Chain A
Amino acid sequence: MSRSSAETGLSLEALADAADRANRLQRVTDRLAEALTPQQVLDAILTEGLRAAEARAGAIGIVSEDGEWIELLAQRGYKRPILTEWGRFPVSAELPMSHVVRNGEPLFLESLKARNELFPNLEGRGRDGHALAVLPLALEGRILGVIGLSFGDDMVFSEERRKMKITLARQAALALERARLFEAEQAARQRLAFLAEASELLGSSLDYEQTLSRLARLSVRRLADWCSIDMVAADGSIDRLAVAHEDPDKVKWALELQERYPPDPDAPHGVSLVIRTGKPEFLPELPEEMLEEAIGDDDVLREIVEQLGVRSSICVPLNARGRTLGALTLIAAESHPPYTSADLELAIELARRAGTAVDNSRLFQEAEKGANAARALAYVADGVVLIDGSGVVRHWNPAAATITGVPEEEALGRRVHSVLPAWESLVSHVPLVGPDEALARPVTVPIVLQGRELWVSASGVDFGEGTVYALRDVTDEHALEKTRSDFVATASHELRTPLAAVYGAVRTLRREDIELREEDRLAFLEIIEDESVRLTQLVDQILLAGQLDANAVQIDLEPCDPVQIASGVLESASLHLPDGISLRVESNGVGAILCDANKLRQVLVNLVDNAVKYSPKGGEVEIRVDSEDGECQIEVADQGLGIPSSERERIFDKFYRLDPQQSGGVGGSGLGLYICRELVERMNGHLDVDSEPGKGSRFTVALPASG
């Protein structure tokens, strides 16, 4: 061992020194290996590292992200507060640390004199130390930072000492990078966890306003001191949806502030700019001049801004499907560190997810609105048809399907003209109005659909992208209306005929220029009498029909003898019977029935009158009274014209006349059978008809037996 030392020219002392350095370096290496965070790395370097390097004091600076600055992060052993004095200085400065960062090479200055020769600008400053070793924290050609070591005396840096310090710096750089990566990975993990939590929140409800307010509160705990969310309203104005801060009083204050200083939509920065451009605005440090510009001469606002203590801000757009729906603003103030590009990326991702959630929620609401409208239309009695600009059916509700006979699935997506060939003739009569004009006036149009003639009331609104038509099947109403107008015409004919006879007879009787024969004079008086009776009956029928409609007819049910009533009716009828008609009544030992005798008499008079009227060639009119199963049946049968089967039910409709043109010469109000059936039903019975055209008709009144 000693021989070998002698051979290499090294003293035993030097060997011991070298072993000692190696030990100290090993301790540094061990400490650095244990350090997980950049702060722990800095601690390790400034304790074990300083000791290993035999330095009195040391400081570590880190190069900023943009490579322009050196930030002093930690120091040990200096008497002066150099972190405050030198906190941040440019890489371009004429300073030992800047020099090393620029050149990437270690700098060993063995005395103050040597330092001042190289950096004359430092003459007279930093008398704390003598010798100085400045070492780059370099990794794969990148300079992460720099270590400065100060020594108590001037010092000769031997090759071993230099190597040892360079090794120390290299290990420190490795440890620092590893710690940074670890920290970055931790931060990324936290960001992912935050994003996951935020996504869960965004997906938790379709009420996006509530969700975004909760997101703002969540962001305040993790990402910012302040978080606000603004949305673009339908009219393009900007509405503040949420403001969050840990302190509720501050939130209140911020909302008041918002009232006093509403956002200027044309402002060249902030939310307005982001919403206008759809691009993020990132201010890692809030430039003084921007604050100054925003504050102007407003002292109150200045105080407010100072209270806010804004250091750094991120404003990101809530974008979805190419549109900007709003903006998310994060502000670092009193507690949150200034934002980095990693924070910006996180904010962009958060806003992207929030934008998608808002969009989805709005789409869902629209879809739901559409679905509600469709549900409502499904129950509307009017047919609703939507035709787009190219004539394709886009909506066809169940009522439209019922009216047209074309099911929805056959109509949707097809051209309306191929769905319904009659469409053109229908809508050609419908005047279209615009969506903002007065209500569309429906027109009633007849169309033939699948062989049926329908009357359809239709109206249309042209809303630019298409036309919506409302259709109503008014066939029944139209038929009723026609029946009504036919009745007015019929009633007027019916009234005119007896009136003409009365008037004509009176005018003739009063003639003085001619001598009337006695028999003619008597005949005229008889005409006046008969026609007056006919007029009275007609007016009575019209009134009775009205009372039946108003449910104002009094019915007094009591036991009656149906045979007696039928015989009485025939007896009266026989008094004014036309030639060729004979009457008879048949009965089969029938007991009492429960009815209103006057009303039953009225019914039978009417049925017998009809039987006589519709037997123009004469024949027998028979009333047959029978009983069966506790029911009494009174049949009035004739051998007259008969009734076609298609008309047998309709003859009981109000105002309906078998022969509205009265071409058969048979007059009537069209109310007789309606009144008969109504009266019989009010007496708990029913009235039916059986007939063979050309051979006669048989009307049957069925009424319950008494007791």
Chain B
Amino acid sequence: MLCRVNLTAAGIEVLEADNGRDALELIRRELPDLVLLDVMMPDLDGWEVARRLAADPKTREIPIVFLTARAGEADRRLGEQLGGVGYVVKPFDPVRIGDLVEEVLTRIEQGEREALRRGILDDMLGSP
């Protein structure tokens, strides 16, 4: 909800799902430009959702930014392996989430997807 309010304020159209299963269905149906994916979710966790999106040629190219409380390096590596282009550790500043989405999309357009992926270990939004 926090993200939705701030993203909408930035002029970004937002679709929301409460759990992994609904999220997967929504993404497959709507094919969004970018997915902000929480890791700890009921039913299917964020890792599994990312795995299934990567396995499907239709959704493989959709960039994923993980939003998670898991700050460990092993978790970031897993995010990288699963094709994430961004990794945002909670708590983060939701006011800047719109700028982040714009920046990621612009860089992907400029062919910097790999550079984003390799930079996944860096925090994209500073902690308070």
Contact = CB atoms under 8 A, between A and B. Distances in A.
A496 B48 contact: no
Interface in A509-567: 511, 513-514, 516, 520, 523-524, 527
Interface of A: 489, 492-494, 496-497, 499-505, 507-508, 511, 513-514, 516, 520, 523-524, 527, 616, 661-667
A669 B45 CA distance: 18
17 contacts: A489-B70, A492-B71, A493-B40, A493-B69, A494-B69, A502-B91, A503-B93, A503-B128, A504-B2, A508-B6, A508-B94, A514-B5, A661-B47, A663-B47, A664-B45, A665-B19, A665-B41
Given A493-B40, A497-B69, A667-B40, A523 B91 contact: no
B43 A616 contact: yes
Residue with the greatest number of chain A CB neighbours at <10 A, chosen from B2, B47, B72, B92: B2
A527 B4 CA distance: 14
Nearest to B88: A500
A511 B43 CA distance: 34
Nearest to B47: A663
A537 B119 CA distance: 36
Interface of B: 1-2, 5-6, 9, 19-20, 40-43, 45, 47-48, 69-72, 89-95, 128
A508 B95 contact: yes
Contacts of B20: 665
A500 B90 contact: yes
B40 A665 contact: yes
Contacts of A514: 5, 9
The 7 closest A-B pairs by CB, nearest first: A500-B90, A665-B42, A500-B91, A496-B69, A663-B45, A493-B69, A504-B2
Contact of B5 (A492, A493, A501, A520): A520
B95 A511 contact: yes
A516 B8 CA distance: 11
B91 A504 contact: yes
A527 B91 CA distance: 14
A489 B72 contact: yes
Nearest to B94: A504
Given A489-B72, A492-B71, A508 B5 contact: yes
Contact of A500 (B41, B69, B95): B69
Given A492-B69, A508-B95, A501 B42 contact: no
A616 B45 CA distance: 13
Residue with the greatest number of chain B CB neighbours at <10 A, chosen from A489, A496, A616, A665: A665
Contacts of A504: 2, 91-94
A511 B128 CA distance: 16
B111 to A, nearest CB: 32
Given A661-B45, A665-B42, A667-B40, A496 B90 contact: yes
B89 A496 contact: yes
Given A493-B70, A494-B69, A665-B45, 7 more contacts: A496-B71, A496-B90, A501-B91, A503-B92, A663-B45, A663-B47, A665-B41
Contacts of B41: 665
A665 B43 contact: yes
Contacts of A505: 2
